[in-house]
Amino acid sequence: MPITVQFAAGPRLWPEYREPLARAFAAAGLDVAMTEAADPAAVDYIVFAPGGTITDFTPYTRCKAVLNLWAGVERIVDNPTLTQPLCRMVDPALTDGMVEYVVGHVLRHHLGMDQHILHQDGVWRNHLIPPIARERPVTILGLGALGAACGQALARLNFPVTGWSRSPKEVAGIRCLSGADGLAAALDGAQVVVLLLPLTAETESLLNADRFGLMAPGGFVINPGRGPLIDDAALLAALDSGQLAHATLDVFRQEPLPPAHPFWAHPKVTVTPHIAADTRAESASRLVAENIRRGEAGEPFLHQVDRARGY
């Protein structure tokens, strides 16, 4: 009897994922019947994304796992009806895309590119030589798969990288700090801060006025993680006072960011529309298939969420 998979990640993603998932199931030797709508009591696995088509997981009595297509699970993890194992997406292409976004925007700010992109005015300002990367300390908050990969890529370009995580971690090539005391030390004198933390009750508004004040004056903030990690009013105040030089933000408390939001018009804010890391259907489908194979074989799932931690 085929394995029943309900694709509950929403109608927008269905045409993008249908064929890659079918290919991945076949490559994994899985006999799968996949539909957008199924009898809940017959479903073995749910493929999900925020904004997906299931809000009540109670009727899915036979479901062995909910497989998320996104890395972030904060819009589903607190759903009290969700008692099945929940797995996050850790897509290698998603990690690649995030590294490219983070390294690109760190270098953009490091090199002062915007003054050239925005001011092609015929004035030859060749006295503005940036320092080299060795002289530009960068701090990454969050040392999960994405934060660690970004930190190591920046370290390979000679940036002195400090990484911070809630619990102690070791990442080759970067200085790793943890815990509450470690956070202040990690921010102290940082010229660029990159936010790649999961969103939890503890990390909401983690970057607030006090913590901006620990950074080097004229520093840069890059947030491709989660919008609510930043206290937005404190960020605007730090930009206006000159404490920060610029913020490049890919995620927001409300998305799409409303056209009237002050971030759009602020000359020291660059809004990008949640594009830093997008799941790619081919590689994501391979992980979904691998987790179904594991579930059928009774092996532990990859990237299963710890409900107590929230990620």
Note if the bond before 256 is cis, omega within 30 degrees. yes
Instruction: By CB under 8 A, tell whether 15 contacts its own copies.
Output: no
Task: Tell me whether residue 103 or residue 234 sits nearer to its own copies (CB atom).
Answer: 103
Quote the least distance from Cβ 143 to its own copies, whole Å. 20
Catalytic residue list contains 226? yes
Which window, 132-140, 177-185, 210-218, 284-292, contacts its own copies (CB under 8 A)?
A: 132-140
Helix axes 281-297, 14-27, angle to 10 degrees: 50
Q: Active site residue: 109, 110, 211, 226, which one? A: 226
Number of residues interacting with its own copies: please give it, by CB under 8 A.
52
Indicate the helix (H) or strand (E) that contains 33.
Answer: strand 32-35
Contact yes or no for 30/292 (Cβ under 8 A): yes
Catalytic residue list contains 294? no
Question: Which region, left, alpha or beta, applies to residue 124 given φ > 0 means left and ψ of -120 to 50 means alpha?
Answer: beta
SS3 158: coil
Helix axes 145-156, 92-111, angle to 10 degrees: 40
Which of 37, 117, 201, 308 forms a contact with its own copies (CB under 8 A)? 117
Residue 128 corresponds to which tokens in the numbers above?
A: 């503005």
Instruction: By CB under 8 A, tell whether 292 contacts its own copies.
Output: no
Quote the least distance from Cβ 301 to its own copies, whole Å. 26
Strand order in the sheet with 138-141: 175-178, 161-165, 138-141, 192-195, 219-223, 244-249, 269-271
| Alpha-helix residue ranges (DSSP H) falling in 112-175 | 113-118, 145-156
DSSP annotation of 207: B
Give the whole-angstrom CA distance, residue 163 versus residue 141.
6
Q: Kindly identify the residues of this chain, within the stretch 134-193, that bind its own copies according to CB under 8 A.
A: 134, 153, 156-158
Instruction: By CB under 8 A, tell whether 108 contacts its own copies.
Output: yes
Which window, 3-11, 34-42, 59-67, 117-125, contacts its own copies (CB under 8 A)?
A: 117-125
Give the whole-angstrom CA distance, residue 198 versus residue 305.
12
Amino acid type, 123: V
Q: Kindly identify the residues of this chain, within the stretch 245-274, that bind its own copies according to CB under 8 A.
A: 255-260, 264-265, 269-274
Instruction: By CB under 8 A, tell whether 93 contacts its own copies.
Output: yes
Which window, 2-10, 34-42, 97-105, 180-188, contacts its own copies (CB under 8 A)?
A: 97-105
Which of 133, 192, 230, 284 forms a contact with its own copies (CB under 8 A)? 133
Q: Kindly identify the residues of this chain, within the stretch 206-225, that bind its own copies according to CB under 8 A.
A: none
Q: Active site residue: 62, 75, 274, 303, which one? A: 274
Quote the least distance from Cβ 115 to its own copies, whole Å. 9
SS3 83: coil
Residue 35 has phi, psi (to 5 degrees) of: -140, 165
| Chain CA centroid to CA 167, Å | 18
Which of 23, 62, 280, 303 forms a contact with its own copies (CB under 8 A)? 280
Catalytic residues: 226, 274
Sites of contact with its own copies (CB under 8 A)? 93, 96-97, 99-101, 103-105, 107-108, 110-111, 113-114, 116-118, 120-126, 128-130, 132-134, 153, 156-158, 255-260, 264-265, 269-275, 278, 280
